[in-house]
Amino acid sequence: MTKKLRLAFAGLALIGSGVVNAAIIDLGSVTAPGVLTYGNDWSRAPGTFVDQHQFNLTNAADSYGGLLELDWFLGNTNVYNIALVGLDVTYFSIDTSPVSTLWQPISYAFSGLAAGAYSLIVSGSASGYYTGYAGAISFWPSSSTSVPEPSTLALLGFGLIALGVMRRRLSA
């Protein structure tokens, strides 16, 4: 299923679910090493929300991120789920519904991300005004382990066989 079609279905689901606040926020591009910050606040009507923070990763990377619910005296924010979707794959989806403590940090990590377009989807509810959440994701280049080429392994094997044959001739 193409990304545009999935986003269209997600939009229809949002309309059908009665989500009050839904936002699509473009965070731009990031190159590892790098950091993106994201968040949302509600000085508007409270209710459920699904925010889609879109960004483009320009090189392969591993990452670590965190989010903090901002609960002021006038209201409360509850983040229920955080998901990273990109390249037709959901990389992670964290159910954070047990986390509803005031100023509770939520952390996550993901690795092996290829270059491409991604969406960090944050969903939950906000009651009252002047609430929200803030987060950051740090990226660093993926560590790759080099794997020897088959021809290198074949040369090593032939070399070991040649050493064995020569040693056998010398000892005979």
Q: Which segments of the chain does DSSP mark as H helices, in order?
A: 3-17, 150-171
Question: Tens digit of pLDDT for each residue in 99-111?
Answer: 445 556 788 888 8
Question: Tens digit of pLDDT for each residue in 83-96?
Answer: 888 877 777 667 66
**DSSP class of residue 165?**
H
The per-residue pLDDT for 34 is 94
In our burial notation (b when 16+ CB lie closer than 10 A, e otherwise), range 117-147 reads ebbbbbbbbbeeeebbbebebbbeeeeeeee
Give the 3-state secondary structure of residue 72: coil
d(CA 39, CA 137): 11
pTM value?
Answer: 0.67
What ranges do the domains of the chain cover? 3-171
What is the CATH architecture assignment of 3-171?
A: Sandwich (2.60)
